[in-house]
Amino acid sequence: MTEPQIVTAAIIVVLVLFVPILISRLLRTVEAGTIRLVSFLGGKVSIYRGPGKSWEIPLVNTGTTIPSKAINIDLDIADQTADVDRNGQPRPIKVRVLASAIVSVGDTNELIRTAANRFFAMPLPVQNSTLTDLLTSTGRRAINLLHHDELFNAKVSFGSAANPQEPSDVLARPGFAALPNAEDDDRLAIIIKSACSRELQDLGLVFNSLNIKEVQSEVAEARRRQSAVEAKANADIVQADQERRAREAQLGAEQAVNDKQRDLEQRRAQNAAVIATAEAEKQEALRSLREAELRATQLAQATADAEKMKVNAEAMAEAEAVRLRTVAVAQADAIREINKAIAEGGDAYLALRQLEMLPQIAPVIANALASAKLVNISSDGRGAAGGAADQITGVIQTILAAQLVSTSLKDVSAPNGKEASASPSLPTPSPSIPTATTVAPIPPKVTIRKDS
């Protein structure tokens, strides 16, 4: 690289480094909400409104910056109003107005230069006190020109006051400029704005607005208390009316609840009656069912008892038939044995029994024969007495044979259930009766049969 090239490169680097620095020194940034005033050697002043850039040469220019923001000043104004009584006598009312006024730098270059030279040249505390004193004094004069009610209601007509021409006269005084749409703003703000506009313009400022925070007075406080009492009374009336309506609604609700409760009780009673009827029908059905079951049980029991009795009767009949057949067979066997015994040795037995009974029956037979008037015709030569005696002897033998058979039958059907012997022995003759030496005629043979 040659020497001229090196010089050229160095010059370029110097320009690149120092030109931005030089431009930043010549062009100054103007922030938003500020105004930059730059004066030249000849006295010319250039005004730059932010945000933007101002052209300044440090060696030949002088610059200053002032705020363009709105300035808020709190005001506490206490004075008397211009009220009069019905007779036209002054009766001022002491009031206290708490408000805030907003002022700002004017829009013209002349007002901006004036504000920079007269207002912003003062220290900040002096700036605030200056504006406070200016606006407070103007506010006192405005309160002295207004009536009490005009401070509370901007729409109050001046004709309603005792001196209706006074505000118009105030606005017509020198220093009070008539503003358009004045009736649309608060009267205190209108008067303050009209009264202090000249003083603010001398400082390079303009009046923007007045915001009244609170107006305090004894009349206003009394009215507030009266309004509070009336409001409380109205509230009490409304509350009492609401309580009455609420009570009526509550009573209506309670009545509705009582009606519903009564309907519910009636329905419960009806349901209870229906349930009782159903329960009675159920009990009646259960009773009928039990009776039917009892009748069925009794019928079944009677049928079972009848069947049982029938079976028992059949069994007893069968047993009785078996017993009777057995007894009949036994009796038949006994009769046959008795007949056989009688056939084999009955004559001797009958003769023996006759001898035993002879002492008893002989007197009876003799008396009977003696008292009988019988006529017997005998062909065998024995005589009537002999024939009668033979007949009586035959009867006695027959009776003895019958007794023998009866005794044998009793022995067969004895209660101990044991059958008599098939071959019963003849009764032994009593030893007390002597044996006869003669044998009586043998009675005819008696045979007893019983069909089985």
Residue-level pLDDT, tens digit, the chain, 452 residues = 678 878 788 888 777 777 677 677 778 888 888 998 888 877 788 888 888 888 887 778 888 899 989 999 999 999 888 888 888 888 898 999 999 999 999 989 899 999 999 999 899 999 999 999 999 999 998 898 888 888 876 544 444 444 434 444 444 444 444 444 444 457 888 888 888 888 899 999 999 988 888 888 888 888 888 888 888 888 889 888 888 898 899 898 999 999 988 898 988 899 898 998 989 998 989 888 888 888 888 888 888 888 888 888 888 888 888 888 888 888 788 777 777 776 676 566 666 666 677 677 777 777 766 666 555 555 555 555 566 666 666 666 666 666 665 665 565 555 444 444 434 444 444 433 333 333 334 344 333 333 43
Query: Would 52 be classed as within a structural domain?
Result: yes
Query: Would 252 be classed as within a structural domain?
Result: no
Q: What is the pLDDT of residue 409?
A: 57
Q: What pTM value is reported for the model?
A: 0.45
Query: Would 101 be classed as within a structural domain?
Result: yes
Q: Are residues 85 and 60 in the same domain?
A: no
Q: Are residues 19 and 90 in the same domain?
A: no
Of 185, 203, 221, the one marking the end of a domain is: 203
Q: Are residues 197 and 130 in the same domain?
A: yes
Give the domain extent around 59.
3-64
Of 203, 236, 253, the one marking the end of a domain is: 203
Q: Are residues 134 and 153 in the same domain?
A: yes
44: which 2 tokens? 């010319």
Q: Are residues 177 and 90 in the same domain?
A: yes
Query: Would 58 be classed as within a structural domain?
Result: yes
Q: Are residues 189 and 175 in the same domain?
A: yes
Q: Are residues 56 and 124 in the same domain?
A: no
Query: Would 365 be classed as within a structural domain?
Result: no
DSSP string for residues in 26-87: HEEEE-TTEEEEEE-TTS-EEEEESSEEEE--TTT-EEEEEE-S-EEEEEEEEEE---B-TT
Please tell me the total count of domains within the chain.
Answer: 2
Q: What is the pLDDT of residue 76?
A: 92
Q: Are residues 52 and 136 in the same domain?
A: no
Q: Are residues 75 and 99 in the same domain?
A: yes
Cα-Cα-Cα-Cα torsion 392, 398, 400, 405, nearest 10 degrees, comes to -170
Q: Are residues 78 and 199 in the same domain?
A: yes
* Angstrom distance (rounded) from CA 47 to CA 37: 5
Q: Are residues 164 and 135 in the same domain?
A: yes
Q: Are residues 18 and 81 in the same domain?
A: no
Residue pair 420/414 in contact (Cβ under 8 Å)? The answer is yes
CATH of the domain at 108: 3.30.479
Query: Would 151 be classed as within a structural domain?
Result: yes
Of 177, 203, 229, the one marking the end of a domain is: 203
Q: What is the pLDDT of residue 29?
A: 81
